[in-house]
């Protein structure tokens, strides 16, 4: 095998007979390199400081396929409506929204979060529907030190024992409205004995837990706790277990199970015989329009109602109805308010979203006005202190609505308990 | 006592719906050896189509009729155009039905959106039977009666008619059946279509109580498989008995041992497969 | 070997290219893409393990994600509730998954075909129900989060997506090698004989029940390895790791990729991971498209992509 002499060439097919040529070639090359380096450096520096030309990127993630798709869609729609109202601009910059489908599967949520944060390089995150996704994302969001807004995730512990300094909730915690409701049921509705029937997962346990705590503290009595697996669609075996002499049935359901339950509650003769009360999602507007007269008279508690009679909410509900041809659910309102919150924070720091610490501090600080659900401020754990509305289902102008019959102002996730004492006790469980 | 009566009646109601769904599944397997993962999709499409038609025409009957016809057509086309090509490869057939299941699921979401709904209960069936302490909805009793009639009808067709004989022959031995002059291809398509129609009918029957919602296709499917396994694949009688067994176990299980409600369904299935895989009335 | 390459000469270069890509590209790719490759590699181990059952033994399992999930839960519970060390957690996860396969194998190994499909599906659902309801241990619907990062714990100087990826790649390579040796061994050949014609194998004196059982346990063991890696990759465990959707997707990875090849399922896993993630960025209708892709692929490549060009024998 013949050996080949390695020839060093600065340019292909050119030989350098004279040193001067090599030097000029070297000079040319170094000039080009310097220019490229300068441009790169300038771009990098510009990207860091975020000139007014570069948009603010918001990463948004909800289920858009599968069984939870409609709720995810509602959350997104609320956000889109708000962004439209402000013309996709905040803090003097344009807003770019990147939406991903988390399929209601936590592992997918994590993958999409990685994509949004590491590939799309968003400045702030928002979204998530299921508590399981909320829990799964929290460590990652914290490790990436990026602010995230949870508009709907209601797992109590996410703003309690497992809170993160980077996650802010603009929605609610599951037990929050139910603390108030337990008292209301005893004092105002005069209920003394209750049978609870709830979906058998953390959301159900926390809602019932909150209700029970205050209801029993007043002197009320829980006759029976019925837990229904999430996959159930026929409640007959459970309805047959309800003692007819109970004062009321407290039901915590959502989505299609709320619809089915309402229908079957009437079928089995319980409607009109045992008063039906429940968590807010049981009659929330994402299912209420599909119910019939069987839902009338149900009393529930939530931090929102589409029928809330305030100017801010009337405007919001009208716009939403016009735009999406349906009444807004609490999911829709969640990211409308969440959007207002986010934008208020961005404005408070003059659009410098690259400073993530400043942004998350602003998120905890701001108090936007004119929210559809009423006045809201965040407690120091990152959960809203907001009104809890007691609603009754009524038919007004031919349509079912959650008429607000009472209001508990300024309810926090800890109710009237001292936070430190509250946190030292265990989470509501089955 | 009241409790026992109500649960038994509801067990029969569950059995009624399960029979309607499982009968199609067991026929598809018996005749064509197809494990139809998209069977839950037929159930779902049935109630969705009925909903749309009933909303437009205010007639539940029209909704039911059209739902059954439309889904039967879909099933027929699916079998003839796609599944038929893999008549000798059950695994490929099953995978293709998986692909269809995903397709139907997202197509339904696209067309109808994700809101849940229930069908209106027919006015003449509203209300409940109240005998002493026992309260049981008239509509559920109606469903039990209808399913029994359908079951009887299927049995008559299967046992007493020429078509039924042909189907039974094909289940027993497709090659000999073809040799005897039976058009196995057309028969398969028709049987699959009938199975799809039965599932759709089941969806409509359940409509006023269980309604329709995104994701219902995969919720129902495992139950249908439990019924078919316990009853025996390919046997209509097995589908009936299996449905009653599963309906009863499910209802009483949920009531008596709510902790184990998931296992009460699948434990019998595992037991049956462990001890007698062909089920109560199936053949190898 | 030479005859096979002659039949489909494109196989060897594809494998070489893929191997080179998997080995060399990560330092050059963004963290997001390294993440996707990590997922493909871990799910590749899982897909290969299922191939042992579906492809080589002819046992179609629709509950295989169960062992994957159980091993992941093992890691999750040990490392968070019991604060166990990393090697204890890994060993624990592996043991619990493999022992479960050994237990379930006793129930399933006597049935075949559609009955095997059904019983494995049922067992998978039982496991899912368990993960959902055994709340004190599994955390129920919320799952278990807070699993510590693997790289530092096993003594690597660097942490991050790229070091983790190489750990996963190493585990993948070792698993692939072991499985390859398994399927080429006399045991593996017997399995293929059982797949082809079980009565004949029995008449030749082979204990087909035992072979099916051992195949099931081995598949469960390798699935457990994948589950351990998946738990560390995500940092959490959830019932969605072992539900029917997970098992179905896994089944499709193997059958679309090409059963009885080991390489095919890996390609199937990678293709589905990338397809799902890339598509969902552009359209909300990605599930619809995925369904169509499955249908079309089965129509044109019923034996799977990697088996394209193979003439069906018999």
Query: Over the stretch C116-161, which tens digit does the pLDDT of each residue have?
Result: 988 899 899 889 988 988 888 998 888 998 899 888 788 888 888 8
Q: For residue B232, what are its two tokens? A: 């025996």
Buried b (16+ CB within 10 A) or exposed e, A170-195: bbbbbbbbbbbbbbbbbeeeebeebb
Domain ranges of chain A: 56-172+310-382, 176-302+388-424
Distance from CA of A330 to the nearest CA of B (A): 14
**At A392, phi and psi to the nearest 5?**
-125, 135
Cβ distance of C32 and A429 shorter than 8 Å: no
Residue B276's pLDDT is what? Answer: 85
Per CB-CB distance under 8 Å, the chain C contacts of A146 are none
Give the torsion sign (CA, A329, A332, A335, A338): negative
- Locate tokens 């079928």: which residue? A267
User: Pairing state of beta strands A148-150 and A124-127?
Assistant: parallel
Is C140 within 8 Å of A201 when comparing Cβ atoms? yes
* Interatomic CA distance for residues B197 and B45, integer angstroms: 10
* Residues of chain A scoring pLDDT < 50: 1-17, 46-48
Q: How far apart are CA B71 and CA B41, in angstroms?
A: 10
B80 in reach of chain C (CB within 8 A): no
Distance from CA of A352 to the nearest CA of B (A): 38
Is 1.10.10.10 the CATH number for A176-302+388-424? no
Least confident of B233-247, C164-178, C282-296: C282-296
The answer to whether the Cβ–Cβ distance between C145 and A138 falls below 8 Å is yes
| Contact by Cβ (8 Å): B94, C298 | no
Q: Does the CB of A264 have a partner CB in chain B at under 8 Å? A: yes
Question: Which of C60, C122, C298 is closest, CB to CB, to B99?
Answer: C298
Distance (Å, whole) CA A220 – CA A182: 9
Q: Do C30 and A106 touch (CB under 8 A)?
A: no
Mutation for B interface: A77, A267, A269, A326, most B CBs within 10 A: A267
Torsion angle, alpha carbons of A287, A292, A296, A302, to 10: 0
- Among partner residues A69, A229, A267, which is closest to B109 by beta-carbon distance? A69
Phi-psi region of A75 (alpha: psi -120 to 50; beta: other; left: phi over 0): alpha
B9 and B255 Cβ atoms separated by less than 8 Å? no
Note the pLDDT of residue A20.
Answer: 53
Q: What is the phi/psi pair of residue B75, to 5°?
A: -65, -45
How far C31 CA sits from the closest chain A CA (Å)? Answer: 7
Q: Tell me how far apart the alpha carbons of residues A79 and A323 are, in angstroms, rounded to a whole number.
A: 13
Report residue C121 as tokens: 């599906």
Tokens for B178?
A: 């073809």
pLDDT tens digits for range C176-225: 999 999 999 999 999 999 999 999 999 999 999 999 999 999 999 999 99
* Nearest beta carbon to residue C288 from set B98, B103, B273: B103
How far is the C-alpha of A194 from the C-alpha of A274, rounded, in Å?
A: 10
Contacts of C245 (CB under 8 A, 6+ apart): B218
At residue A6, the pLDDT reads 43
> What secondary structure does DSSP assign to C66-109, as a single string?
HHHHHHHHHHHIIIIIS---HHHHHHHHHHHHHHHHHHHHHHHT
What mean pLDDT is predicted for residues B249-261? 84
Residue of C nearest to B219 (CA): C244
Q: Do C142 and A119 touch (CB under 8 A)?
A: no
Token pair 């031919």 in the structure block, residue: A398
Q: How many angstroms separate the CA of residue B237 from the nearest CA in chain A?
A: 25
**Beta pairing partners, A395:** A400
Strand (E) or helix (H) holding B130: strand B128-131
pLDDT of residue A269: 87
Helices within chain C (DSSP H only)? 2-7, 11-24, 31-51, 65-76, 86-108, 113-133, 135-138, 150-153, 161-184, 186-196, 198-203, 208-234, 244-257, 263-282, 286-300
Class of domain A56-172+310-382: alpha beta
C129 vs B89, B101, B263: nearest CB: B263
Taken as a whole, chain B contains a residue count of 284
Residues 23-52 of C with CB under 8 A from A: 30-33, 35-36, 39
Tell me what the pLDDT averaged over chain B comes to. Answer: 89
* CA-derived radius of gyration, chain B: 19
For A12, A40, A41, A350, B57, the CA distances from A34, given in Å and listed in that order, are: 22, 10, 10, 35, 75
C234 in contact with A at a CB cutoff of 8 Å?
Answer: yes
Q: Do domains A56-172+310-382 and A176-302+388-424 have the same CATH topology?
A: yes
Instruction: Provide the pairing of β-strand A384-396 with A299-302.
Output: antiparallel
C32:A110 CB<8 A: no
* Encoded tokens for C29: 């790719």
Biggest distance spanned by C-alpha atoms of chain C: 57
CA distances (Å), origin A2, targets A5, A205, C252: 10, 81, 54
Instruction: For chain A, list the contacting chains (3+ Cβ pairs, <8 Å).
Output: B, C
Percent of chain C scored above 90 by pLDDT?
A: 65
The predicted structure's pLDDT at residue A33: 60
Distance CA A29, CA A374 (A): 65
CA distance C196 to chain A (A): 38
With CA atoms as reference, the chain B residue closest to C247 would be: B98
Nearest to A290 among B116, B137, B219 (CB): B116
Q: Is the pLDDT of residue C311 over 70?
A: no
What does the pLDDT read at residue B134? Answer: 86
**Distance between CA atoms of residues B143 and B125, nearest Å:** 10
Handedness of CA A427, A110, B115, B216 (dihedral sign): negative
Return the closest-CA partner of residue A203 out of A293, A294, A129, A290.
A129
**Interface touch B110/C244, C-beta < 8 Å:** no
Pairing of strands A384-396, A399-411: antiparallel
Of B105, B110, B229, the CB nearest to C118: B229
Contact residues on chain A for C143, CB-CB shorter than 8 A: 106, 132, 135-136
Residue of C32, C138, C241 to mutate, interface with A, max A Cβ within 10 Å = C32
Tokens, residue A388: 């809890």
Residue of A nearest to C139 (CA): A202
The one-character DSSP state at A55 is P
Query: Does the beta-carbon distance from C122 to B229 stay under 8 Å?
Result: yes
Percent of chain B at pLDDT above 70?
Answer: 99
Q: Do A111 and C280 touch (CB under 8 A)?
A: no
Residue A201, phi then psi, degrees to nearest 5: -155, 180
Compute the Cα dihedral for A228, A234, A237, A238 and give only its sign: positive
- pTM for the full predicted model: 0.89
Instruction: Name the 3-class secondary structure at A422.
Output: helix
Please tell me which residue of chain C has the smallest CA distance to A66: C287
**What residue has token string 């879909």?**
B74
Q: Pick the residue from chain B with its C-alpha nearest to A231.
A: B219
Model pLDDT, residue A171: 95
Q: How far apart are CA C176 and CA A29, in angstroms?
A: 48
Q: Give the per-residue pLDDT at B272.
A: 85
**pLDDT tens-digit map of C21-31:** 999 988 888 88
Q: Among A65, A115, A201, select the one facing C141 at the smallest CB separation.
A: A201
């Amino acid at each position: 095998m013949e050996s080949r002499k390695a020839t060093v060439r600065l340019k292909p097919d050119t030989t350098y007979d004279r040193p001067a040529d090599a030097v000029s070639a070297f000079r040319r090359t170094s000039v080009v390199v310097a220019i490229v380096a300068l441009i790169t450096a300038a771009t990098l520096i510009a990207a860091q400081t975020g000139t007014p030309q570069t948009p603010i990127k918001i990463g948004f993630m909800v289920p858009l396929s599968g069984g939870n798709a409609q709720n995810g869609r509602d959350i997104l729609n609320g956000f889109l409506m708000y962004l439209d109202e402000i013309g996709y601009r905040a803090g003097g910059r344009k807003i770019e929204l990147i939406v991903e489908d988390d399929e209601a599967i936590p592992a997918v949520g994590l993958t999409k979060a990685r994509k949004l944060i590491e590939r799309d390089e968003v400045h702030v995150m928002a979204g998530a529907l299921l508590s399981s996704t909320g829990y799964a994302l929290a460590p990652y969001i914290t490790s990436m030190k990026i602010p995230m807004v949870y508009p709907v995730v209601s797992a109590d512990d996410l703003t309690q024992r497992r809170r993160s300094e980077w996650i802010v909730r603009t929605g609610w915690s599951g037990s929050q409205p139910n603390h108030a409701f337990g008292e209301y049921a005893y004092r105002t509705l005069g209920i003394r004995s209750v049978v609870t029937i709830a979906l058998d997962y953390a959301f159900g346990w926390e809602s019932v837990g909150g209700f029970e705590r205050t209801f029993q503290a007043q002197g009320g009595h829980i006759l029976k706790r019925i837990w229904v697996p999430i996959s159930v669609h026929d409640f007959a075996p459970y309805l047959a277990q309800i003692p007819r002499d109970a004062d009321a049935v407290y039901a915590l359901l959502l989505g299609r199970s709320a619809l089915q339950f309402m229908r079957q509650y009437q079928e089995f003769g319980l409607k009109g015989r045992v008063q039906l009360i429940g968590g807010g999602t049981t009659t929330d507007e994402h299912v209420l329009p599909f119910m019939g007269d069987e839902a009338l008279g149900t009393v529930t508690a939530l931090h929102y109602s589409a029928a809330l009679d305030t100017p801010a909410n009337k405007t919001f509900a009208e716009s939403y109805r016009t735009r999406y041809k349906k009444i807004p659910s609490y999911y829709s309102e969640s990211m409308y308010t969440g959007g207002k919150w986010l934008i208020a924070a961005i404005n408070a720091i003059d659009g410098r979203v690259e400073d993530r610490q400043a942004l998350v501090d602003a998120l905890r600080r701001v108090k936007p006005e004119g929210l559809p659900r009423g006045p809201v401020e965040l407690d120091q754990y990152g959960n809203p202190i907001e009104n809890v509305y007691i609603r009754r289902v009524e038919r007004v102008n031919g349509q079912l609505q959650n008429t607000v019959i009472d209001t508990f102002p300024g309810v926090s996730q800890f109710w009237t308990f001292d936070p430190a004492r509250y946190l030292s006790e265990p989470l509501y469980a089955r | 006592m009241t409790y026992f009566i109500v649960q038994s009646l509801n067990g029969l109601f569950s059995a009624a719906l399960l029979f309607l769904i499982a009968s199609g599944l067991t026929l598809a397997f018996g005749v064509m050896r197809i494990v139809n993962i998209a069977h839950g999709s037929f159930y779902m499409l049935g109630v969705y189509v009925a909903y749309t038609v009933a909303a437009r025409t205010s007639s539940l009957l029209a909704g039911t009729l059209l739902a059954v016809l439309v889904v039967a057509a879909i099933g027929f086309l699916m079998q003839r155009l796609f599944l038929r090509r893999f008549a000798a490869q059950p695994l490929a057939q099953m995978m293709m039905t998986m692909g269809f299941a995903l397709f139907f699921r997202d197509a339904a979401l696209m067309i109808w959106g994700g809101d849940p709904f229930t069908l209106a209960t027919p006015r003449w069936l509203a209300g409940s039977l109240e005998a002493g302490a026992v309260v049981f909805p008239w509509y559920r009793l109606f469903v039990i009666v209808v399913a029994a009639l359908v079951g009887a009808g299927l049995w008559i067709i299967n046992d007493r008619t020429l078509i039924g004989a042909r189907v039974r022959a094909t289940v027993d031995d497709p090659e000999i059946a073809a040799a005897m002059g039976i058009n196995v291809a057309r028969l398969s398509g028709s049987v699959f279509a009938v199975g799809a129609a039965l599932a759709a009918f089941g969806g409509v029957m359940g409509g006023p109580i269980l309604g329709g919602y995104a994701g219902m296709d995969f919720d129902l499917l495992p139950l249908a498989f439990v019924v078919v396994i316990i009853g025996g694949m390919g046997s209509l009688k097995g589908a009936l008995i299996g449905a009653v067994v599963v309906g009863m176990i499910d209802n009483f299980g949920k009531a008596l041992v709510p902790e184990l409600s998931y296992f009460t369904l699948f434990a019998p299935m595992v037991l049956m497969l462990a001890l007698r895989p062909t089920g109560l009335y199936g053949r190898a | 070997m030479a005859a096979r390459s002659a039949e489909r000469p494109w196989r060897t270069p594809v494998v070489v290219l893929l191997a080179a890509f998997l080995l060399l590209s990560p330092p050059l790719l963004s963290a997001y893409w390294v993440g996707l490759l990590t997922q493909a590699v871990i799910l590749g181990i899982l897909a290969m393990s299922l191939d042992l059952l579906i492809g080589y033994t002819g046992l179609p399992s629709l509950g295989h994600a169960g062992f994957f999930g159980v091993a992941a839960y093992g890691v999750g519970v040990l490392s968070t509730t019991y604060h166990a060390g990393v090697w204890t957690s890994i060993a624990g996860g592996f043991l619990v998954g493999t022992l479960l396969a050994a237990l379930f194998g006793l129930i399933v190994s006597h049935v075949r075909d559609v009955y095997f499909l059904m019983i494995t599906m049922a067992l998978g659902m039982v496991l899912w129900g368990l993960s959902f309801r055994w709340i004190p241990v599994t955390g129920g619907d919320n799952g278990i989060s807070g699993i510590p990062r693997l790289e530092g714990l096993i003594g690597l100087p660097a942490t991050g997506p790229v070091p983790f990826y190489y750990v996963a790649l190493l585990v993948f390579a070792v698993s692939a090698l072991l499985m390859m040796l398994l399927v080429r061994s006399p045991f593996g050949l017997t399995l293929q004989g059982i797949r082809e014609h079980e009565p004949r194998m029995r008449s030749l004196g082979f204990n087909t029940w035992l072979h099916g059982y051992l195949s099931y346990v081995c598949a469960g063991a390798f699935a457990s390895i994948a589950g351990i890696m998946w738990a560390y990759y995500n940092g959490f465990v959830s019932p969605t790791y072992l539900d029917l959707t997970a098992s179905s997707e896994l089944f499709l990875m193997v059958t679309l990729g090409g059963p009885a090849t080991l390489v095919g399922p890996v390609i199937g896993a990678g293709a589905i991971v990338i397809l799902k993630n890339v598509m969902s960025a552009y359209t909300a209708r990605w599930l619809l498209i995925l369904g169509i892709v499955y249908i079309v692929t089965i129509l044109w490549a019923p034996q799977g992509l990697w088996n394209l060009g193979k003439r069906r024998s018999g």
